[in-house]
A and B are shown apart, each in its own frame.
Chain A
Amino acid sequence: MKLAYWMYAGPAHIGTLRVASSFKNVHAIMHAPIGDDYFNVMRSMLERERNYTPVTTSVVDRNVLARGSQEKVVDNITRKDKEENPDLIVLTPTCTSSILQEDLENFVDRAQMDSKGDVMLADVNHYRVNELQAADRTLEQIVEYYIKKARKKGNLPEGKTEKPSVNIIGMSTLGFHNQHDCIELKRLMADLGVEVNEVIPESASVHNLQNLPRAWFNLVPYRELGLMAAKYLEKEFEMPYIDITPMGVVETARCIRKIQQVINAQGANVDYEEFIDNQTRFVSQAAWFSRSIDCQNLTGKKAVVFGDNTHAAAMTKVLAREMGIHVVMAGTYCKYDADWFRKEVSEYCDEVLISEDNGEIADAIARIEPSAIFGTQMERHVGKRLSIPCGVIASPIHIQNFPIGYKPFLGYEGTNQVADLVYNSFTLGMEDHLLEIFGGHDTKEVIHKGMSADSDLNWTKEARAELNKVPGFVRGKVKRNTEKFARERNLSEISIEVMYAAKEAVGA
């Protein structure tokens, strides 16, 4: 058992539902107790979805516990098949079905006999995988299912599209700014003269999955969702895939160069250097922004980054490499894919934190006292308590992170959005401090900014008054350094003398 107050990634079935309900005309039936269809609320609220979420429940109740759910599941599947004629019904196990150990596979086979549409059981185990892993696996499973089906029927199209083309893999419902990213990537592909063959799973039809092999390559913009499908297609059809997230100026260029390499290897003859140069210098504002005086003022400012692998890694690189910001700590909650994260960010930050424990992350932020945080909604609230501004860069997110206006994080327009987000976060914080400085010496009590243990040291009245003269934004740091200095020398009281000795010692 684990005491938990907050989780970053949801349970497995959420991942399956996100993928299934992203497709057009695919219905998911959860094998779950009543009350587990909260996914429908989230989709309807967060995405402001106009259509009924194609997810229903085959309810597990006392009767089911006593007698098993065979008839019920089969009936629910065939009923839904008749009511809505979905192309595919995905039976989705939950934590409850994981321990009931019923033969769901068998129910699916039986239901298939009476259904016009296809029926499949999502291959996810609540106790082994989380939302993100389950989403990745479900997408692979659906792709594989329809490739095999087409192959069996002899429907797999031969050869490639005439012009270079791409499948964009991994866009899904409830994904962080996915809809905007998707538009931006399509634009980028159009600019590059690359046709978009298929986008999956968002708004895709399962009938089109057999066309996937016609693309020249696959683009997987997010680390968490799509890689398994891309690897499957690579294995089956030797389709190359690109898993460079085009977020930030440098990475977008890297992604484009990789596209160039991949399609030229298949006989295209493109040179994107001029495009990259033009976009970088004149279209995107981000490169110019990093040269401007605004950004100069951010040099060496401290930041902490936390989120999923994709966004935390990309953000760390943007901050450190493109804006000269000092990323003290970068972290991810994707524990299952921690090695990748470490490899991506290690050279751009001082520390790496891999954790699913929001308390640990909050404590780290309190200790570091960055000028800005880039994290999830949880880090935003930590920032609120510590009066440190926070830009939200990754799920879990709230309704305000599903903006109506166009806000991609990827591609060249994405670089502009990211620059705004970074700059606004830092200036917000600076304005606060300026107000404080020019408001004269404030008489506010020193607020200890630690989230956990309180200080055991005594400050003399004079020292405390002196500390209060230190401008707010460095006060916490001065206090901490002084206390560290005192502790190392076993001093229990901090006088003005100790304070200045500490300052000289650490050069604070």
Chain B
Amino acid sequence: MTVAQPEGLNFECETGNYHTFCPISCVAWLYQKIEDSFFLVIGTKTCGYFLQNAMGVMIFAEPRYAMAELEEGDISAKLNDYEELKRLSLQIKRDRNPSVIVWIGTCTTEIIKMDLEGLAPKLEAEIGIPIVVARANGLDYAFTQGEDTVLAAMAARCPKKEVEAEKEERNAIQKLLNFGRQKEEVAAADREYVDHPPLVLFGSLPDPVVTQLTLELKKQGIKVSGWLPSKRYTELPVLEEGYYVCGVNPFLSRTATTLMRRRKCKLIGAPFPIGPDGTRAWIEKICSVFGIEPKGLDDRERQIWESVEDYVKLIRGKTVFFMGDNLLEISQARFLIRCGAIVPEIGIPYMDKRYQAAELKLLEETCKEMGAPMPTIIEKPDNYNQLQRIHEMQPDLVITGMAHANPLEARGINTKWSVEFTFAQIHGFTNTRDLLELATRPLRRNSNLKDLGWDKLVKEAAEV
């Protein structure tokens, strides 16, 4: 893959003093996605406090997650890591009986150099439950990159074909019972697809979105052989050398690298299916790799745009500022620019120009087509400096973390809480309305209130 260095986009790097969630937060959505998993975060009270508060009410629903809280004895190596982890993992096995335990390494396990990767295979053999290790710590990663570390670790666990054959063996009786029918159905279903090498998609999405995107590709005759992650750990997709893989989210660069280097898969570098423009470009790119002429995408995209015109017109001509905290920023900005917005600045925690090459190119093209100025992309932003710029340029909307949202609102600046985009369904054609619903909510709310006259609610309004 060539590194596309789009001309025109400005890249800058600041101090990295910005607010974001710790990557261990991925536990919150991954334990829900992978139904037979259990996530054990090996860290301190700091990690626990963050998760407990960030997960909000989910924490009361007996989540399949827990802290292995390190105490002073663990730090000073008075206690034996292996024995301690064994004790806790056995307790989890007894109480919850999961199909996989995911150990999340944290800052503390990094600093005291606890060899989780070394301990896991030994313990796995001893207790008979797969143990996957992901080092999703705040020293190295931001927010959604946590999912990336977990999926990269899972990619190593995806079965090969032979293993799959064994699995079918085990299900032989069930197969026998509805043998005839299934075979016919499978054959009929296969006729709907073009003959192409297996394609596996990666990125954790809510099940309805998985179904929507799978069907979207099916319309083009493309069969999705599997999805990393799947609903259950025991259903991880088969990965063979030469399989094609494609990402659905912009923060999955380690997973992509692992799939290419370790599993010898071929990466389809496409823009991400966020917004109808992104979804279309994503499908087109996959089609082009398989030599398929895409059908009906023009109409599909146009219809979606028409159906959301009431929202799009709220955004047209507005300036939107991304402070940056979840790595979805480039795709979102590209989509909003297509809606007619002007984006002066895109803050982003980490910018993988290789993995995001196609998305960056689409961003650039979009700016040109819409006649919009090229945004400056600021990696590792500095929130303090950003606030100065925001107060200076007074954008119509700031997409930001919760730490700054209320103070900005109090100074008369519309904000949208960025974290919501990570949890809401924003992928594919179908969810365009939801995506816009979120992005325009502050504009709609504040236009409802606009005649009241109290939009600045701090005494020295312009002060940071």
Contacts and interface: CB of A to CB of B under 8 A. Distances in A.
A501 interface: no
Contacts of B142: 34-35
A34 B72 CA distance: 23
Contacts of B67: 2-5
B218 to A, nearest CB: 39
B19 interface: yes
B111 interface: yes
B217 interface: no
Nearest to B407: A52
Nearest to A13: B46
A178 interface: no
A275 interface: no
A489 interface: no
Contact of A61 (B16, B21, B65): B16
A40 to B, nearest CB: 4
B50 A52 contact: no
A1 B84 contact: yes
Interface stretch (B52-60, B172-180, B326-334): B52-60
A33 interface: yes
B138 interface: yes
A51 interface: yes
Contacts of B42: 1
A7 B63 CA distance: 15
Contacts of A52: 387, 404, 407, 464
Given A7-B45, A126-B46, A100 B17 contact: no
A62 B401 CA distance: 24
Contact of A50 (B44, B69, B88, B407): B407
B137 interface: yes
B207 interface: no
Say whether chain B's binding surface is mostly helix, strand, loop, or mixed: helix
Given A41-B401, A41-B403, A60 B44 contact: no
Interface string A4-47: 11110011011000000000000000001111111011101100
Contact of A44 (B52, B65, B92, B405): B405
Nearest to B349: A34
Given A2-B69, A57-B17, A59-B16, A44 B45 contact: no
B23 interface: yes
Interface stretch (A91-99, A238-246, A261-269): A91-99
Contacts of A53: 403, 407
B75 A1 contact: no
Interface residues of B, number: 64
B292 interface: no
A273 to B, nearest CB: 43
A127 interface: yes
B287 interface: no
Contacts of B59: 5-6
Contacts of B49: 7, 10-11, 14, 38
A61 B139 CA distance: 4
A62 B108 contact: no
A479 B274 CA distance: 56
A44 B68 contact: no
Given A4-B48, A14-B49, A36-B50, A51 B66 contact: no
B407 A51 contact: yes
Contacts of A61: 16, 139-140
B71 A96 contact: no
A7 B52 contact: yes
Contacts of B405: 44
Interface string B16-45: 111111111000000000000000001011
B111 A126 contact: no
A4 B43 CA distance: 11
A225 to B, nearest CB: 18
A96 B53 CA distance: 20
Interface string B279-295: 00000000000000000
A416 to B, nearest CB: 30
A14 B44 CA distance: 13
Given A3-B88, A3-B91, A4-B66, A83 B384 contact: yes
A1 B68 contact: yes
A60 B464 contact: no
B70 interface: yes
Interface string A358-400: 0000000000000000000010010010000000000010100
A56 interface: yes
Max chain B C-beta neighbours (<10 A), residue from A35, A62, A99: A35
A291 interface: no
A37 B68 CA distance: 21
B111 A65 contact: yes
Q: Indicate the member of A10, A13, A49 with the most B CB atoms within 10 Å.
A: A10
A127 B53 contact: no
A281 interface: no
Contacts of B403: 37, 40-41, 44, 53
Contacts of A35: 20-24, 50, 138, 142-143
Interface in B105-163: 107-108, 110-112, 137-140, 142-143
Interface of A: 1-7, 10-11, 13-14, 32-38, 40-42, 44-45, 48-53, 56-57, 59-62, 65, 76, 83-84, 94-96, 99-100, 126-127, 130, 378, 381, 384, 396, 398
Nearest 3 A-B pairs (CB), nearest first? A35-B22, A33-B138, A35-B138
5 contacts: A1-B88, A34-B22, A36-B46, A130-B45, A398-B56
Given A1-B87, A13-B46, 8 more contacts: A5-B63, A6-B52, A11-B46, A33-B107, A41-B53, A45-B406, A127-B71, A130-B45
